């Protein structure tokens, strides 16, 4: 189960995630983020502070979001990763592809 909420901070959309990002919930995350991007959002900050698990399906969605933002000079930043998630991003090579910062404040 994954809860997704959002708030605006200056020109960034803060996307707060709570729960597990797995094959089931990744589709919800994808649909929601693509809807925001289609609605004109260009800067997304994904807050993983309350996420305890991410699967390859979740990683795929983050990559998809970043690719969708490229043509509009948009950007996705990640923050609040716990040590387990940091390891997943390191091993997958995603830590080289994305801006990863400790807090939402730094991401904005």
- What's residue 26's pLDDT? 97
Kind and range of the H or E run holding 26: helix 23-38
pLDDT tens figures, 6-17? 999 989 999 999
> 31 CB contacts (<8 Å, ≥6 apart)?
none
Domain 2-107, second-level architecture:
2-Layer Sandwich (3.30)
For residues 14-40, give the mean pLDDT: 97
The pLDDT mean for the chain works out to 96
pLDDT tens figures, 66-99? 999 999 999 999 999 999 999 999 999 999 999 9
- What's residue 21's pLDDT? 98
All structural domains of the chain with their residue ranges = 2-107
- Phi/psi of residue 98, nearest 5 degrees: -125, 150
């Amino acid at each position: 189960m994954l809860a997704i909420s959002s708030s605006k901070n200056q020109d960034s959309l803060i996307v707060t995630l709570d729960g597990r990002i797995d094959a089931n919930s990744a589709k919800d995350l994808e649909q929601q983020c693509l809807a925001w991007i289609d609605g004109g959002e260009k800067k997304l900050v994904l807050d993983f502070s309350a996420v305890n698990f991410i699967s390859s399906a979740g990683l795929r969605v983050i990559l998809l979001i970043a690719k969708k933002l490229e043509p509009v000079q948009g950007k996705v930043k990640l923050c609040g990763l716990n040590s387990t998630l940091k390891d997943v991003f390191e091993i997958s090579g995603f830590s080289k592809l994305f801006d990863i910062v400790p807090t939402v404040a730094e991401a904005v």
